[in-house]
């Protein structure tokens, strides 16, 4: 095993959320969204790279017709704090005009990515636009934002695992760990 990964499994970093806690919350979110969008066919837009595990598991609990697409943005690079500048790496491919759209994030901290995506997606004239985030960091917002479906509110600490990374590492951990 890689020595860096082994530190997580040996307990060098505390677990914030267990795999079981995460899966229970993802199930609850999927059930709630399925009820809220009954008889509709929303488009889920995952924000890469961080949301890939979350949106994959979330889709397993969505019990309605839907579509999935992805956008890739970056505001961290290899740092532990946002640079404050959102860069688009991949645009969506689907047509969202007059569609119900749910943007799926792994984590919201500064709010810059969410407000950027709200403006950018809003320009494409969706019928409705809502945001889903597995994690929301408390006390770290730099701008006012909205999030319609929140999995967990967490302390303003740096976390990795379950899709969240540090310098593209540690996304494959099944739990969410405090790393700072």
Residues with a known catalytic role: 109
H/E stretch holding 135: strand 128-137
Q: Return all residues near 38 (Cβ < 8 A) that are at least 6 apart.
A: 64
Q: How far apart are CA 109 and CA 18, in angstroms?
A: 20
Residues 73, 86: contact at Cβ < 8 Å? yes
């Amino acid at each position: 095993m890689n020595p860096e990964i082994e530190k997580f499994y040996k307990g060098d970093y505390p677990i914030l959320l267990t795999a079981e806690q995460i899966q229970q919350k993802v199930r609850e979110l999927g059930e709630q969204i399925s009820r809220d969008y009954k008889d509709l066919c929303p488009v889920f837009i995952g924000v890469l790279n961080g949301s890939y595990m979350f949106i994959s598991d979330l889709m397993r609990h969505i019990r309605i017709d839907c579509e999935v697409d992805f956008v890739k943005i970056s505001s961290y690079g290899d740092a532990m704090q946002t640079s404050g500048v959102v860069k688009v790496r991949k645009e969506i491919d689907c047509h969202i005009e007059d569609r119900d759209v749910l943007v799926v994030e792994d984590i919201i901290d500064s709010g810059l990515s969410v407000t950027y995506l709200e403006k950018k997606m809003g320009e494409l004239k969706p019928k409705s636009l809502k945001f889903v985030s597995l994690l929301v960091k408390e006390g770290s917002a730099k701008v006012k934002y909205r999030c319609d479906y929140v999995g967990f509110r967490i302390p303003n600490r740096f976390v990795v695992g379950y899709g969240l990374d540090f310098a593209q590492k540690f996304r494959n951990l099944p739990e969410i760990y405090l790393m700072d």
